[in-house]
Amino acid sequence: MEETTNKNFSSDNILRENLIFAGLDDRDLNKAKDFFSMYQKDYKKDEIIKKPGEYMQSFGIVIRGNVIAYMDDIDGNHMIVTNVFPSEAFGEALCFLEVREVPIYIKAFTDCRIAWLSPEKIKSPSSEISGSLYTSLTTRYISMLSDRMLAMNDRIQVLSKNSLRRKLTTFFSQCEHRYGQNTFDISMSRYDLAVYLGVDRSALSRELSAMKNEGIIEFYKNSFRLLNK
């Protein structure tokens, strides 16, 4: 894939939706790109971006499209770890902690573009990058790591439920909170949603139909509306 440098980057508005770059004017935005040695790369749908065992030197921010991270269980079945949308980051903790044997796959769920950023200057600061912007970027990065922990907690909340109905209602409540409304789209197919929830696809389809018949939800393909909690 052809890589492009961080000069004349055309997706600044998407970047500014991420905590790292939020509120930065054009001058500081360009400095922040340089600080993180940022570059872009395009990927095709279903392309494997990272394989288990590969070292992540940089973390990614999705600019366009959708990325998923998944791992195999002891039986070789895929288990989705996270679903990443435009302006959202992935791999920030793995590269900061220098995990050498990353146990997950990262795959382009659709055609996508990713901005790759290195936290090296946060881990090894020098006098050349001191000042208020350095402090701000470091604080933002730490905050992003904290947000990642909260996202993992959301996943644990879903998986900890002892029935498929409770897993679904928890997941839909999280989506409602995330989008700020009771109508939303999810980018996962039925198969991917079943994997994310850790359930059988047929059982998922039956439960969704039951919830629809009971007036709890409405849905068409990947669009959902919560009617009654």
Write a three-state SS string for 41-53: EEECCCCEEECCC
Nearest to 171 by CA among 83, 85, 87, 64: 83
pLDDT digits (tens, 9 = 90+) for 140-182: 998 888 887 777 788 888 889 999 999 999 999 999 988 889 9
- Cα–Cα distance between 25 and 143 in angstroms, integer? 20
Which of 68-72, 94-98, 203-207 bottoms out in mean pLDDT, i.e. has the lowest? Answer: 94-98
- Average model confidence (pLDDT) for the chain? 85
Helix (H) or strand (E) holding 3: strand 3-5
Give Cα 129 to chain centroid, integer Å. 28
At 79 the three-state DSSP class reads strand
Model confidence at 52, pLDDT cuts 50, 70, 90, reads confident
Nearest to 184 by CA among 169, 192, 173: 173
Mean pLDDT (whole number) for 62-69? 92
> Is residue 7 scored above 60 in pLDDT?
no
- Amino acid 5: pLDDT: 42
User: What backbone phi and psi angles, to 5 degrees, belong to 30?
Assistant: -65, -35
Which of 36-40, 99-103, 141-145, 191-195 bottoms out in mean pLDDT, i.e. has the lowest? Answer: 99-103
Mean pLDDT (whole number) for 61-65? 95
Which of 9-18, 43-52, 203-212 bottoms out in mean pLDDT, i.e. has the lowest? Answer: 9-18
- Amino acid 6: pLDDT: 44
- Amino acid 159: pLDDT: 85
Model confidence at 8, pLDDT cuts 50, 70, 90, reads very low
Exposed e or buried b per residue across 24-43, where buried means at least 16 C-beta atoms within 10 angstroms of its C-beta: beeebbbbbbebbbbbbbbb
Domains and CATH numbers, the chain: 3-155 (2.60.120.10), 161-226 (1.10.10.10)
Say how many Å lie between the first and final Cα of the chain, rounded: 46
> If you compute the radius of gyration of the chain from its CA atoms, what whole number of angstroms results?
19
Give Cα 154 to chain centroid, integer Å. 13
Interhelix angle 132-159/190-197, nearest 10 degrees:
90
Q: Provide the percentage of residues in the chain whose pLDDT is more than 70.
A: 90
DSSP state of 138: H
